Amino acid sequence: MPDTQVKDAVDKARAAAQELHRAISDAAAKRGGAAKADLAAVPQMAKAAIESIKGSVGVQNEAAKTHLADAVKYLEATGNDAAQGVKSSGKEFQTAVRQTIADARAAVQKVSEAVATTRTAESTQPARK
């Protein structure tokens, strides 16, 4: 896969994780049923972000692969937390939402670290002729 496709794949994975985080934050700002309805969509969004990451892992360097693997773990936790949040109410719901946001934020951070690792590796490669 050419370098630009590698870069595009990891950038798309980061965009998917960022969109997931944004959706969770928006859901958390709502009250009652509206928040639960939005939160119900999170597990599917997390799966889509995971698939995006898994599609780019094979062509990454080892350090980036490690960051992306960590991101997948956080995204899986995000989906699970959101699913639990939809089933709960009151303080349990708020706790699940906070944990969902924290896991999504950690996933975005890990994907961003993979992007940085990839770009650093690209910038240190000798120029091609």
CA angle 99, 11, 51 (to 5 degrees): 60
Q: What fold characterizes domain 3-124?
A: Four Helix Bundle (Hemerythrin (Met), subunit A) (1.20.120)
Phi-psi region of 11 (alpha: psi -120 to 50; beta: other; left: phi over 0): alpha
Closest-CA residue to 78 (of 10, 7, 28): 28
Q: What is the pLDDT of residues 68-90, one digit of tens each?
A: 999 999 999 999 999 999 999 88
Per-domain residue ranges of the chain: 3-124
Which residues, in sequence order, are CB contacts of 88 under 8 Å at separation 6+? Answer: 96
Q: What average pLDDT does the segment 92-106 reach?
A: 93
What pTM was estimated for this model as a whole? 0.82
- Whether the pLDDT of residue 2 is over 50: the answer is no
Q: How confident is the model at residue 63 (pLDDT cuts 50, 70, 90)?
A: confident
Whose tokens are 């690209």? That residue is 122
Sorting pLDDT into bands at 50, 70 and 90, what band is 29?
confident
Q: Is the pLDDT of residue 46 over 70?
A: yes
